[in-house]
Structure 1
């Protein structure tokens, strides 16, 4: 009576925290439960063959925005070749608006929301009776102390080769309408002592890279300081054995005590993901986002100037009420603060989020297929939105990659958004591509752009060559490698 817990991760390095929570809380059924993780892009027939090799009675799938289309194909094939296998779905993509989804219609059961208690109970009823009568089971949220933590289930292979996702809390007290956390009532912490004991055990097993998926790591400063002190103690014990931690910060909440702790971390040990999303107060009010913009900007500036933390700061284009000029002003303001990465995101309509209430007034048109990206609004037409999409892609290639650190400032000048948009339009006209642009070709194109803007051929080649020793039209100097932490996938916990 094997029970399989399966999902298609965005990439191999992303070990599913949600599946491990389910496995940890299977109780008496844990001994007959197995994990079966895959990666998007794998052949459907290969996945189905490997799943059925376990001879499962039940397969539970974690369904997310990035894997729902491929998981639908897997579920459909399983229903054709092995109709006797009971298929149970869960995860954020199927927890809302489920009645209209093809994958839900194909499956036998659905668990919405928290699955820690409800999924094991459902499996017990499927295996031992009485047979569940309802298809949809609303997840019961247990007391946090009743949830068994899953970190011992990370294998030696996971520790050696994958990002380890951890969380000191679940939920979020804020109500930003573009985020699924807008549906949470608050943030619920796990017991700090037991959580730190789990971190200690992971570290003792060799774990050195930890990604916190908490939405608001710095909500409770006392807790934040204790967790940071855990990492500082490990660094102090052996500075030659580096530890790396990633946290998401509320941008306008950085008291002096937290600054003092952050300032103690050495280079390469700390990354912060900071969601600004918009600097426009009217847009923030529309989407129920509370943010002190001046304080948030001051805090980002302080982190850049007085800490060694790597900063990954988010902006979202396509929010209701924001036109390109407003977004450009926010982008330029953020560039002036000099974070290491600016994640230029395009709004997506996550199922269940309240952003949908603005659809009619702001003529918001979303792609009907995952990841449900905004296509146009009353203030940004489809063609302009596509220009923004290309800008975001090229910004990743040129700016966030860290490969053009010396050249970027020259490209941006005193009008970063407008100048990079001009480069983006030019690059697309030259290549008709946004992907599969070889690095040496990109470097040569950047040099050509600088020449088109009035720089001499030799000067452009030398500037690009100072960043990238490749095939450009002028002699290139060997660039010193730029250490940029790998961007992590967002919030993979179920």
Structure 2
């Protein structure tokens, strides 16, 4: 009997891998011995090889992403030396990069049907993967089992109810995804019961966070309300994480979410920019006035934790526009603000746009920009420093009252630039700073800004 190893290389100990769980369930009833193993990027490379070798698998299944692809390529090459007869099956967004590794079978796109067919062939390297009939999300088995509790308790667990996205943001992997696949048709009572049963099973795994990976989760309002209501009424000791589209929020959403207890629901909200021309150029339609209104409504009327994102490097967006977006977003006081650097992902429209507009970016993952059509590398480095300062002083949620007081009189970038100056004077990096030192710096920034304000008033008088 062949032994199939599902190996997950995670970014941290708390992460898990949904794709490999799906693949496991697709072949659960077949005549194979199935085993699972995981490691993190920080573990010694030779130890990872030795652990896999000790399991003596005949087939090794990997899932490649921008954050683990380089390490997995190296691993696949070395495993080919110590396990020369093993077949390595690679799926995920970065699977294309393994085509030159001789022992690898590559699955592109949704992998469930292809993996099932490959398993039926006995993992024959000559098996043709191109003519496989697609299996929609509704036909894929539930990814998890009761026995997964030992592995997944207090971990991030991923789940999805929908594949596809109606929006066409040029930088996103979903920009060319034509699927519109719901896992459940909740107009049918039996489908609603199946959804609740899966949510109950996920709750029983006692995750740290249950993260829904649906793009723009709230595009299906009735489904969103059903799941939010489940989360609100649950006695779970974890939070439910959703990526939502801000323009779709409405007053009835706020009324429902107002019932959620603290630390129960978390929203990731992609604002990206408040510049509507830039957003239109990026394939994204958004009304900042409406988004700002509902960000404030969520803060004032609910206990939902908001993580809001901006992107540096969108086509045509210059430094001043990004600074304006950052200041506007920070006025809504989300719990966390991420100022992310644009990544030029393969298989997205952004790659061709970047070529046409003269962008420069990293050749290897994470494909982060080095120059855009409107930003120099100096400006990108400066904005990246602001991003690190946000992580240190805002996103830890340690000094909310201090920030609130300062933002009543100063812009977010004025505060961040004062903190930046303090770090330069102290010759201190933007990481590994103790809480005591962070608080001292916040208080010093407050004093300097207050003194600056008094000096300005004297000059005006």
TM-score between both structures, scaled by the size of structure 2: 0.89
Gaps of 5+ in 1: 236-240, 457-494
Q: Does 1:112 align with 2:108?
A: yes
Q: Is the 8 A contact 1:318 1:346 kept in 2?
A: yes
Q: Does 1:164 align with 2:157?
A: yes
- CA distance in 1 between counterparts of 2:132 and 2:344 reads 23
Q: Is the 8 A contact 1:152 1:202 kept in 2?
A: no
Aligned partner of 1:363 in structure 2 is 358
Assess, with a 3 A threshold, how the Cα gap between structure 1 residues 138 and 173 changes in structure 2: closer, same or farther. Answer: farther
Assess, with a 3 A threshold, how the Cα gap between structure 1 residues 20 and 269 changes in structure 2: closer, same or farther. Answer: same
- CA distance in 2 between counterparts of 1:4 and 1:266 reads 41
Aligned partner of 2:126 in structure 1 is 132
Superposition deviation, residue 442 in structure 1? 3.3
- CA distance in 2 between counterparts of 1:414 and 1:453 reads 8
Aligned partner of 1:234 in structure 2 is 234
Aligned partner of 1:479 in structure 2 is none
Assess, with a 3 A threshold, how the Cα gap between structure 1 residues 274 and 205 changes in structure 2: closer, same or farther. Answer: closer
Aligned partner of 1:58 in structure 2 is 59
The answer to which structure, 1 or 2, has the higher relative contact order (CA under 8 A, 6+ apart) is 1
User: Residues 159-308 of structure 1: matches in 2 within 5 Å?
Assistant: 159-191=152-184, 192-193=191-192, 194-204=194-204, 206=206, 209-235=209-235, 242-308=237-303
Assess, with a 3 A threshold, how the Cα gap between structure 1 residues 256 and 409 changes in structure 2: closer, same or farther. Answer: closer
- CA distance in 2 between counterparts of 1:410 and 1:138 reads 61
Aligned partner of 1:23 in structure 2 is 24
Aligned partner of 2:334 in structure 1 is 339
Aligned partner of 1:71 in structure 2 is 72
Q: Is the 8 A contact 1:116 1:147 kept in 2?
A: yes
- CA distance in 2 between counterparts of 1:454 and 1:305 reads 27
Gaps of 5+ in 2: 185-190, 453-461
- CA distance in 2 between counterparts of 1:361 and 1:423 reads 37
Q: Is the 8 A contact 2:171 2:282 kept in 1?
A: yes
Superposition deviation, residue 27 in structure 1? 4.3
- CA distance in 1 between counterparts of 2:80 and 2:141 reads 32
Measured against aligned partners, the alpha-carbon deviations of 1:365-416 in whole angstroms (never above 9, x if no partner) come to: 1111221111112321111111111110111010111122233345554222
Aligned partner of 1:463 in structure 2 is none
Q: Is the 8 A contact 1:315 1:344 kept in 2?
A: yes
Aligned partner of 1:42 in structure 2 is 43
Aligned partner of 2:143 in structure 1 is 150
Aligned partner of 1:13 in structure 2 is 14
Q: Is the 8 A contact 2:27 2:119 kept in 1?
A: no
Superposition deviation, residue 300 in structure 1? 1.1
Superposition deviation, residue 449 in structure 1? 4.0
Superposition deviation, residue 277 in structure 1? 0.7
Q: Does 1:440 align with 2:436?
A: yes
Q: Is the 8 A contact 2:57 2:86 kept in 1?
A: yes
Q: Is the 8 A contact 1:111 1:138 kept in 2?
A: no
Aligned partner of 1:427 in structure 2 is 423
Aligned partner of 2:457 in structure 1 is none
Superposition deviation, residue 230 in structure 1? 1.7
Q: Is the 8 A contact 1:27 1:120 kept in 2?
A: no
Q: Is the 8 A contact 2:118 2:127 kept in 1?
A: no
- CA distance in 1 between counterparts of 2:100 and 2:265 reads 40
- CA distance in 2 between counterparts of 1:325 and 1:387 reads 12
Assess, with a 3 A threshold, how the Cα gap between structure 1 residues 368 and 425 changes in structure 2: closer, same or farther. Answer: farther
Q: Does 1:415 align with 2:411?
A: yes
Q: Is the 8 A contact 1:363 1:377 kept in 2?
A: yes
Q: Is the 8 A contact 1:270 1:309 kept in 2?
A: yes
Determine helix, strand or coil for the equivalent of 2:59: strand
- CA distance in 2 between counterparts of 1:139 and 1:446 reads 58
Assess, with a 3 A threshold, how the Cα gap between structure 1 residues 153 and 103 changes in structure 2: closer, same or farther. Answer: farther
- Which 10-residue stretch deviates more, 302-311 or 401-410? 401-410
Q: Is the 8 A contact 2:4 2:32 kept in 1?
A: no
- CA distance in 2 between counterparts of 1:342 and 1:139 reads 42
Measured against aligned partners, the alpha-carbon deviations of 1:177-200 in whole angstroms (never above 9, x if no partner) come to: 111011211431102532321112
- CA distance in 2 between counterparts of 1:30 and 1:243 reads 37
- CA distance in 1 between counterparts of 2:449 and 2:102 reads 56
Aligned partner of 2:455 in structure 1 is none
- CA distance in 1 between counterparts of 2:80 and 2:314 reads 40
Q: Does 1:123 align with 2:119?
A: yes
- CA distance in 2 between counterparts of 1:349 and 1:154 reads 39
Aligned partner of 2:456 in structure 1 is none
Assess, with a 3 A threshold, how the Cα gap between structure 1 residues 154 and 188 changes in structure 2: closer, same or farther. Answer: farther
